[in-house]
């Protein structure tokens, strides 16, 4: 009989959360630990990773802090040597340079592509190899609504988010025969260090809030449910897809709500 009560139980599973030092990564680590996983909180800022691990300990969970630089394959290998076999990978890091494409420098282009695309590729590839050998695992990569829709100043960032989506879809097809699942999460506007710049401009911040159906920004913790779902047996038949957690951003066509006849 199917045990529906254990669908979200992550006991005895080991998860690596890259970018766990803040924002969505921190919330993901806390959510996974709350559902029973041992979580390796990894970040290029070790002190931030340690803070997240301490928060999990205070909440009664199991966690370890870990340094990782996804731009350095040796750093990735060293990190995985510490974690041992993994059941779950959550990859969150990305950067954005907001400016018109015609004003982009080659250095800025390379910087965004390098972290968002190559960095993600390197850490996912390293973890996926072990999962394929063990014939189990769940890989979760954060994309964005910008994989689908764009705005001025988001060209290169959007390109990386669309690129990561297609790269992970292909990987899902390649790993499916081995029992490894690969999925993505596409957040809308979330209050994180990456979006702090926007919060400093009330008109900009409020315009984004009004753009989605719920009329507000998300908090990082609101991404954790999707992470737990994709990491758990509740999503055992889900692979190669992207789950948008965007407050209805992609469902709403424009900011103006036309007057409609009352029923």
Residues with catalytic roles: 157
Nearest to 142 by CA among 254, 27, 60: 27
Q: How far apart are the first and last CA of the chain?
A: 46
E strands along 123-179, which residues?
A: 137-142
Taking the CB of residue 137, how many other CB atoms lie within 10 A of it?
Answer: 24
* Contact predicate 236/39, CB 8 Å: no
Answer whether 15's CB lies under 8 Å from 32's CB.
Answer: yes
Q: List, edge to edge, every strand of the sheet that includes 137-142.
A: 62-67, 38-43, 14-18, 88-91, 137-142, 180-187, 242-245
């Amino acid at each position: 009989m199917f045990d529906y009560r254990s669908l979200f139980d992550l006991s005895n599973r080991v998860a690596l959360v890259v970018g766990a030092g803040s924002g969505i990564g921190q919330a993901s680590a806390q959510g996974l630990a709350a559902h029973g996983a041992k979580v390796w909180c990894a970040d290029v800022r070790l002190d931030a990773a340690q803070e997240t691990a301490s928060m999990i300990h205070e909440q009664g969970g199991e966690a370890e802090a870990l340094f990782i630089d996804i731009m350095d394959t040796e750093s990735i290998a060293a990190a995985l040597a510490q974690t041992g076999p993994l059941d779950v990978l959550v990859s969150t890091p990305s950067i954005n340079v907001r400016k018109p494409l015609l004003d982009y420098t080659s250095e800025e282009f390379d910087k965004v592509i390098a972290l968002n695309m190559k960095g993600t590729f390197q850490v996912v590839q390293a973890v996926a190899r072990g999962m394929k050998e063990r014939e189990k695992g769940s890989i979760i990569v954060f994309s964005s609504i910008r994989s689908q829709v764009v705005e001025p100043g988001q060209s290169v960032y959007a390109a990386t988010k669309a690129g990561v989506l297609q790269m992970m879809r292909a990987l899902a097809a390649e790993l499916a025969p081995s029992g490894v699942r690969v999925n993505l999460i596409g957040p809308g506007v979330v209050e994180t260090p990456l979006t702090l710049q926007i919060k400093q401009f009330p008109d900009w911040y409020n315009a984004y809030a009004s753009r989605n159906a719920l009329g507000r920004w998300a908090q990082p913790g609101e991404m954790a449910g999707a992470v737990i779902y994709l990491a758990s047996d509740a999503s055992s038949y889900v692979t190669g897809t992207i789950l948008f957690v965007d407050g209805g951003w992609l469902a709403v066509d424009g900011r103006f709500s036309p007057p409609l006849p009352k029923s």
